[in-house]
């Protein structure tokens, strides 16, 4: 694609980077075939190629974002399916991140949008505030239809997604020693939303690792990685969260040392792995950011290196594996979660249209509830086709989003692996397992060959 940036514009490193990305695009449109919003809406401007044109025009003109650009960029899920499909290697993620920063700096949203976005940015990344907000949401939940009726659909979506119960704070920040001889040492990112909604995932992760000889440190100074605000274009806030996370992990890296930084929330994993790029212009942090990013692994990438020890106690349930977009497209981790589940004794099923987003996408399901609900309905329908007993997804956002649309339990793969290797059965599975005949054997999986341990 030809561009017309001036030399003065290209002196800005962010523009220079985006120009490189734009020039890689050959307009082929292959990406539209796998773009969820293009598939749903059918408008060229709601596909990656159309958005790339809009962003190019906005950046070249160096003018404030228009209503039209904001509408179509806001509808993008940042699911990155287009990056997996693109034959030319267009780095759409960095381009749309740049567009979001430009929009945030130059566009004045309607008052209600500004209020909602500020609320989300000032509450969700902070576990104490988020937990308090969820308590309010528990009581306000029955009024969700009322908010929808008066046009406050994002508020209605927030209430609908809020869990019915919120577990009390459960401090996890400390060192968890390995059971038996120590074979490794890792640091674990607990995150912000996951700290409130996914503490069972954190506990399962720690147990599985300790059981397999790995010491785990959960540094107390870590929290939000910056991902939530990063996707809203709030660049300085995102970088501040990133620097704080880097400082916390560097203390461990330079202290007792770690083999890896593990992340159980794939949305956060994609951002942490991109820290080197995000902080490339910060002389004080560029090197440290690269080191932290280089050590970041999804928990399943790390577990795949260990010799798992299934006890045979877990029921061989049929598991529909939902690959979170941030894991399959953002990090290209596709094989490990399924192989681990298979090795652990579960019958793993791939679902149709697995490349399509479930509609979660960070805070997208609250800001774009109509599209998010349509995507969830499509995802739940596809999952139903493989008749699972349980659904596994490696991202708390997907777990929350899918769980709101189905009665089939949704858990993190690591919770199943923990159970299969001697940990407790996930609470959500109690009923299903109780109803299953003790000697029931799940159908053999045809597509997956269990990896050798």
Residues contributing to the site for ligand SF4 (CB under 6 A): 25-31, 35-37, 48-49, 51-52, 76-82, 85-86, 88, 90, 92
- Residue among 357 and 429 whose Cβ is closer to ligand SF4: 357
| DSSP assignment of 335-387 | HHHHHHHHHTT-EEEE-TTTTS--S-TTTHHHHSHHHHHHHHHHHHHHHHTT-
**Cβ density class 264-277: b for 16+ within 10 Å, e for less:** bbbbbbbbbbbbbb
- Residue among 95 and 134 whose Cβ is closer to ligand SF4: 95
- Nearest approach, Cβ of residue 26 and ligand SF4 (Å): 5
- Nearest approach, Cβ of residue 82 and ligand SF4 (Å): 3
- Nearest approach, Cβ of residue 229 and ligand SF4 (Å): 18
- Nearest approach, Cβ of residue 359 and ligand SF4 (Å): 11
- Nearest approach, Cβ of residue 231 and ligand SF4 (Å): 11
- Residue among 56 and 297 whose Cβ is closer to ligand SF4: 56
- Residue among 36 and 219 whose Cβ is closer to ligand SF4: 36
DSSP code, position 327: I
Helix, strand, coil share (%) of the chain residues, nearest 5: 55, 10, 40
DSSP code, position 450: P
How far apart are the C-alpha atoms of 445 and 160, rounded to whole Å? 35
The CA-atom distances, in angstroms, between 84 and each of 140, 286, 304 are 40, 27, 23
- Nearest approach, Cβ of residue 437 and ligand SF4 (Å): 42
DSSP code, position 77: -
In angstroms, how far is the first alpha carbon of the chain from the final one? 47
- Residue among 37 and 245 whose Cβ is closer to ligand SF4: 37
- Residue among 80 and 272 whose Cβ is closer to ligand SF4: 80
């Amino acid at each position: 694609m030809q561009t017309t940036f001036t030399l003065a514009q290209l002196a800005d490193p962010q523009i220079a980077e985006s120009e490189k990305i734009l020039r890689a695009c050959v307009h082929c449109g292959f990406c539209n075939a796998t773009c969820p919003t293009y598939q749903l809406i059918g408008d060229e401007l709601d596909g990656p190629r159309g958005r790339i044109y809009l962003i190019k025009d906005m950046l070249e003109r160096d003018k404030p974002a228009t209503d039209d650009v904001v509408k179509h960029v806001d509808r993008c899920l940042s699911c990155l399916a287009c990056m997996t499909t693109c034959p030319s290697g267009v780095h759409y993620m960095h381009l749309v991140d740049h567009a979001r920063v430009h929009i945030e700096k130059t566009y004045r949203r309607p008052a209600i949008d500004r209020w909602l976005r500020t609320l989300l940015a000032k509450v969700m990344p902070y576990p104490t505030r988020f937990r308090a907000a969820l308590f309010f949401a528990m009581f306000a939940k029955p009024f969700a239809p009322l908010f929808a009726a008066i046009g406050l659909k994002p508020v209605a979506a927030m209430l609908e997604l809020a869990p019915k119960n919120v577990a009390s704070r459960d401090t996890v920040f400390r060192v968890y020693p390995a059971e038996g001889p120590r074979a490794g040492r890792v640091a674990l990112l607990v995150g912000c939303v996951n700290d409130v909604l996914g503490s069972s995932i954190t506990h399962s992760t720690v147990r599985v690792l300790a059981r397999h000889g790995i010491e785990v440190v959960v540094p107390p100074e870590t929290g939000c990685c910056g991902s939530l605000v990063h996707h809203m274009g709030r660049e300085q806030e995102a970088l501040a969260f990133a620097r704080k996370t880097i400082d916390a992990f560097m203390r461990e890296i330079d202290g007792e040392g770690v083999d890896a930084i593990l992340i159980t929330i794939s949305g956060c994993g994609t951002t942490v792995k991109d820290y080197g790029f995000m902080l490339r212009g910060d002389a004080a942090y560029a090197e440290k950011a690269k080191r932290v990013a280089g050590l970041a692994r999804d928990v399943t990438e790390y577990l795949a290196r260990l010799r798992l020890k299934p006890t045979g106690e877990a029921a061989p349930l049929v598991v529909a594996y939902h690959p979170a977009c941030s894991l399959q497209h953002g990090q290209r981790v596709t094989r490990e979660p399924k192989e681990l589940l298979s090795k652990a004794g579960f019958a793993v099923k791939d679902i149709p249209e697995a490349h399509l987003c479930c509609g979660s996408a960070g805070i997208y399901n609250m800001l774009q509830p109509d599209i998010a609900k349509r995507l969830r309905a499509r995802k739940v329908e596809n999952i139903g086709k493989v008749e699972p007993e349980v659904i596994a997804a490696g991202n708390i956002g997907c777990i929350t989003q899918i769980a709101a649309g189905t009665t089939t339990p949704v858990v993190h793969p690591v919770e199943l692996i923990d159970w299969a290797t001697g940990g407790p059965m996930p609470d959500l599975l109690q009923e299903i397992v109780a109803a299953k005949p003790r000697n029931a054997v799940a159908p053999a999986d045809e597509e997956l060959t269990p990896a050798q341990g």
